[in-house]
């Protein structure tokens, strides 16, 4: 699997402006009313990730959730990550 070039990553981020590049990953943050709402969101994402066979890094801090996407097996960001970011945005 080929990693995306810098210009390809910029193009992907332009189409998903809520996401950003940070520490070699596509990342996005969400804030919810409380912990329960944050966990409901994470559980929705878990279903999408399982269907896609591609799982984000998930950080939960009470009502804050951060997702990170990188293809560890490819050593960087791939089209699979960009597609997953779009799928996550669609269900969030």
SS3 of 53-65: the string is CCCCEEEEECCEE
Residue 21: give its domain's CATH number. 3.30.1360.20
Q: Which domain holds residue 49?
A: 6-91
DSSP 3: P
- Is residue 1 assigned to a domain? no
- Is residue 42 assigned to a domain? yes
Give the chain's mean pLDDT.
96
Count how many domains the chain has: 1
User: For the whole model, what pTM was predicted?
Assistant: 0.92
Q: How confident is the model at residue 1 (pLDDT cuts 50, 70, 90)?
A: confident
Distance separating alpha carbons of residues 26 and 17, to the nearest angstrom? 11
pLDDT tens for each residue of 25-67: 999 999 999 999 999 999 999 999 999 999 999 999 999 999 9
CB 48 within 8 A of CB 88: yes
- Is residue 76 assigned to a domain? yes
Kind of pairing, strands 57-61 and 20-22?
unpaired
CB 76 within 8 A of CB 2: no
pLDDT of residue 10: 96
């Amino acid at each position: 699997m080929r990693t995306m070039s810098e210009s390809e990553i910029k193009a992907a981020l332009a189409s998903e402006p809520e996401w950003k590049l940070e520490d070699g990953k596509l990342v996005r943050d969400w804030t919810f009313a409380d912990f329960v709402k944050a966990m409901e969101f994470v559980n929705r994402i878990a279903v999408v990730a399982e269907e896609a066979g591609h799982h984000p890094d998930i950080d939960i801090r009470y009502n804050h959730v951060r997702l990170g996407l990188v293809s560890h097996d490819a050593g960087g960001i791939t089209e699979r990550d960009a597609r997953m970011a779009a799928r996550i945005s669609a269900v969030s």
